[in-house]
Structure 1
Amino acid sequence: MSIDAIRDAILTGDRSEETYAGLAVPTTYRGATVRKSEVEMFAGLDSRDKDPRKSLHIDEVEIPELAPDEALVAVMASAINYNTVWTSIFEPVSTFGFLERYGRLNEWSKRHDRDHHVVGSDLAGVVLRTGSHVSRWRTGQEVVAHCLSVELEDPEGHDDTMMDPQQRIWGFETNFGGLAELAIVKANQLMPKPDHLTWEEAAAPGLVNSTAYRQLISKNGAALKLGDRVLIWGASGGLGSYATQMALAAGAEPICVVSSPDKAEICRRMGAELIIDRRAEGYRFWDEAGTTQDPKEWQRLGKKIRELTGGHDVDVVFEHPGRETFGASVYVARKGGKIVTCASTSGYMHEYDNRYLWMNLKSIISSHFANYRESWEANELINRGLIHPTLSKTYPLEQVGQAALDVHHNLHQGKVGVLTLAPEAGLGVSNPEKRARFESQINAFRDV
């Protein structure tokens, strides 16, 4: 079968353009999908009871025609992000609405409106084909992909592509995502694969590393500076683990909020010293009914932060849990401080006491993924060994539902990887000398 020939060619290490141009592209491939016919399968259940193992399928799907500005990539590994969890439990809405709207945009976008959605917003692999308008990339190149898909026909996107009216997240708001043997991306999503990483390690940072970079480092986010104190919720998780590393690398001081001693240990391995175990401290920002917040708990958190920092409040709050923590985040930021939010994994309807915001001149800054320049810079930090993958566990494609369940129930550390074409973990390193310098940091999340 031609998919096996593609895998075999990649495993030989041959990256010549001629080899891959000579390989036949199959008409179908295996991908992790949700099905339009099953959108109501979890109706009436609480979010936590919705099981991705029931909704994520490994289906044989057709390869569409390649658009002029696209690349077809043989995917060796991918990773789980929370948007795959949302897709798999059909919350807050079914992603088929995204695909239907995209399908009405132009002749090429029609391909995305199907009765199945191939999911996944990360990949590491090898370019198999490029469209007729692609000149920067060639077949045989090892690549990773960021997940920003833009059309750039409108003027709004030409200062910051995240402002493009047709900005979408690949594999979530578009089809043909990375949790598959093959994937289709726009050529301006591609970046060089760091040569000291395995396939699964290289696939893990993409979405979360770029998101954390814009949110924390970029001028479009917090613009973190030397000496800043930054509170990082979920500091050992997919997003927080990159924010923690970036804060340390930038000469800032992270205050890491975690939920267990194991996660606290991971933060120490990354080099963080100021850690709050919120479960051990017993913080309850909301009453049992989830309707009323307790400002005394905000105050208790603020007091804990000042104990750790020698009496200082934080300059920046790295926010992504949303409803559960947002009131506390607004309270604990210093006067003139910033609360930068990129997600709402615990709920979208945030509530906070506006007196602590307006009277103290604090700022709430929204941040969503990253533009190509920010993603490229974030990937270069990985390539230079300034930031490292936070991969903790890897599943085969056949167990993608379990991988998504781990993330859904917060049973994971860092990132959860998925092998697609790669037959086993540990493959893909082409610069072992470089890797040897960073081996312990690369494996920091593995045995916790």
Structure 2
Amino acid sequence: MKTILDAIQSPESTPDDFAALPVPEEYRAVTLRANETDMFAGMDSADKDPRRSLHTEHVPTPSLEPGEALVAVMASAVNYNTVWSAIFEPIPTFDFLRRYGRTSPAAKRHDQPYHVVGSDLSGVVLRVGPGVNAWRPGDHVVAHCLSVELEAAAGHNDTMLDPEQRIWGFETNFGGLAELAVVKANQLMPKPDHLTWEESACVGLVNSTVYRQLVSLNGAGMKLGDNVLIWGASGGLGSYAVQYALASGATPVCVVSSPEKAELCRSMGAEAIIDRNAEGYRFWQDAHTQDPKEWKRFGARIRELTGGEDVDIVFEHPGRETFGASVFVTRRGGTIVTCASTSGHVHEYDNRYLWMSVKRIIGSHFANYAEAWAANRLVSKAKIHPTLSKVYPLEQTGQAAHDVHTNSHHGKIGVLCLSPREGLGVRDEATRQRHLNAINRFR
């Protein structure tokens, strides 16, 4: 690994130098173990601790199949799917690996008694498999997390509709929280030159997800002048949603849970902000009963901030806790677009407010390659900025996941893999200096 790192850090290294590097037989990775999937049995979700289930250990380097690339991972990031993996909810990810392993001889590699997790990376290509022409050893890359087979006709209009699409590092093995990772070549994108390894690693999953959810015609199709309600506006997804709303000429209505998070939204340029804790919103009277009076109070507060208008789009991801309110406050003919259910995946809402007001609910899952590429291009052009707030070393990934699980973080949390320290990997210092305040806003 030291030889690989030396080559990455040398400005004189050529593609031939990288192609000649020996590939280690094993590498350090953050793993889950199949024999521990019952370790949290009987516990409430909130009490399950990723620090117990996530391990840093050496695993064998997998073989490289056609259409794939082996990447030396300089940095990665924690997403909520890492939390789901680590607490074995809604099901252990080993179920995904077993199903994938049955689909082909090549996929059988993924069915292991360990799962290398992680759905983000920035790093350097070490090897490419047969049939890969767009990338070569030495390329500085980031990866999006859509792993797709594209053998079915359904996926060729929108790869998210392919029946064999999976999220890399969640539904597949050999993910990004490691020193090496295996990805399909069509997951790779150019690393933004003005960002460090850890900054660029925290963008791929959330930025692409938000782009499809809000901007793409596969999502809400946000336009100039829209009012957009953004739950968790200072979090991993929400912080990008705020940026996209502002960049598109829309008005973000930011929902946060503390004065500190409200201030982060103001620093991005948002003005309409609701601190739901300070204002005491409680959308559920108990575990089984929602409170429509609170929906109405929430809707009235939104109209105070928008000059009397309801929201055109609700950017949904908390799920069960907020979904009833989201459907209620959306304007007649408006759109609720949902990409996750971090507070529970069984949603309840009053359908009268949906059908009689001709509202739409759109499910949005990650992004296709074209959407991910477009989102990454905006980062490379410094139109959208990373929201990195904290960085951990690889061996403390459990603590990073715990931070996300307990919502004790802002923006995104990065993880150093091969990179020996923060601040490395910048190749366009001039662009970086012009946008340094925005890049560091969440630090």
Paired residue secondary structure (1:276): strand
**Alignment match, 1:244:** 242
**Alignment match, 2:131:** 133
1:132 is displaced (CA, Å) by 1.1
1:15 is displaced (CA, Å) by 4.5
**Alignment match, 2:11:** 13
1:64 is displaced (CA, Å) by 1.2
Among 117, 120, 129, which residue is 1:119 paired with?
117
With the length of structure 2 as denominator, give the TM-score of the two structures: 0.99
Superposed CA offset, 1:231-275 (max 9, x none)? 000000000000000000001000000000000011011110110
Among 384, 394, 419, which residue is 1:387 paired with?
384
Paired residue secondary structure (1:101): helix
Among 351, 355, 363, which residue is 1:354 paired with?
351
Q: Does 1:186 align with 2:198?
A: no
Paired residue secondary structure (1:349): coil
Q: Does 1:366 align with 2:366?
A: no
Q: Distance in 1 between matches of 2:167 and 2:57?
A: 22
Within 5 Å, give how 1:147-186 maps onto structure 2: 147-186=145-184
Q: Distance in 1 between matches of 2:330 and 2:362?
A: 13
**Alignment match, 2:393:** 396
Change (3 A) 1:406 1:14: farther
With the length of structure 1 as denominator, give the TM-score of the two structures: 0.98
Q: Does 1:313 align with 2:310?
A: yes
**Alignment match, 1:343:** 340
Superposed CA offset, 1:408-438 (max 9, x none)? 0001100000000000111110110010110
Superposed CA offset, 1:117-142 (max 9, x none)? 00000000000000011000000000
RMSD: 0.6
1:13 is displaced (CA, Å) by 3.0
Within 5 Å, give how 1:368-447 maps onto structure 2: 368-446=365-443
Aligned partner letter, 1:166: E
Aligned partner letter, 2:89: E
Change (3 A) 1:191 1:15: farther
Q: State the aligned residue count.
A: 443
**Alignment match, 2:327:** 330
Q: Distance in 2 between matches of 1:22 and 1:361?
A: 61
Q: Distance in 2 between matches of 1:131 and 1:348?
A: 38
1:290 is displaced (CA, Å) by 1.2
1:209 is displaced (CA, Å) by 0.3
**Alignment match, 1:281:** 279
1:8 is displaced (CA, Å) by 1.4
1:18 is displaced (CA, Å) by 1.1
Structure 2 gap ranges (5+): none
Aligned partner letter, 2:192: P
Q: Does 1:294 align with 2:291?
A: yes
Within 5 Å, give how 1:208-247 maps onto structure 2: 208-247=206-245
Contact 1:171 1:178 in 2 (8 A): yes
Q: Distance in 1 between matches of 2:120 and 2:11?
A: 22
Within 5 Å, give how 1:259-274 maps onto structure 2: 259-274=257-272
Paired residue secondary structure (1:280): coil
Aligned partner letter, 1:49: D
Q: Distance in 2 between matches of 1:124 and 1:378?
A: 15
Structure 1 gap ranges (5+): none
Contact 1:68 1:133 in 2 (8 A): yes
Q: Distance in 2 between matches of 1:354 and 1:52?
A: 37
Q: Distance in 2 between matches of 1:357 and 1:262?
A: 34
Q: Distance in 1 between matches of 2:299 and 2:63?
A: 55
Aligned partner letter, 2:359: K
Q: Distance in 2 between matches of 1:412 and 1:7?
A: 30
**Alignment match, 2:205:** 207
Contact 1:15 1:141 in 2 (8 A): no
Superposed CA offset, 1:160-179 (max 9, x none)? 00000000000000000000
1:19 is displaced (CA, Å) by 1.2
Paired residue secondary structure (1:281): coil
Q: Distance in 2 between matches of 1:82 and 1:347?
A: 13
Paired residue secondary structure (2:410): coil
Q: Distance in 2 between matches of 1:133 and 1:378?
A: 26
